Structure 1
Amino acid sequence: MSDTEGDSAAEGNAAYGKKSFKRSKSHFSDRVTADGRDGWPVEAGRYRLVVSRACPWASRAVISRRLLGLEEALPMAITDPIQDDRSWRFTLDPGGLDPVLGIRYLAEAYEAREPGHPGGVSVPAVVDVPSGRLVTNDYQQLTLDLATEWRDLHREGAPDLYPEALRDEIDEVAAGVYEDVNNGVYRAGFATGQKEYAAACEGVFGRLELLSQRLARRRYLVGDTITEADIRLFTTLVRFDAVYHGHFKCNRHKLTEDQVLWAYARDLYQTPGFGDTVDFDHIKRHYYQVHEGINPTRIVPLGPELSGWLTSHGREELGGRPFGDGSPPGPVPEGEEVPPAGRP
Structure 2
Amino acid sequence: MPGYSHRTGAVLAAVLIFTCVMIGAQPVVRADPSRPVAADGSRIAETRVESDRQSELEVYSAAMNSATRIRVLRAADPDTPAPTFYLLNGANGGSEGNWLDGTDLVDFFRDKQVNVVIPFGGAGSYFTDWRSDDPVLGRQRWSTFLTEELPPLIDATFHGTGTNAIAGISMAGTSVFQLAMAAPGLYKAIGSYSGCVRTSDPAGQAVVQAVVTQQRGTVVNMWGPPTDPAWRANDPYLHADRLRGTAIYVSTGTGLPGPKDDFEGAHGDLAHLLYQLVFGAPLEAVANLCTHQLQDRLRQLGVAATFDFRPNGTHSWGYWHQDLRNSWPMIEAAIR
Above 0.5 in TM-score? no
Return the index of the structure with the highest Cα Rg.
Answer: 2
Asked which structure has the greater RCO (Cα within 8 Å, sep 6+), the reply is 1
Q: TM-score, normalised by structure 1?
A: 0.29
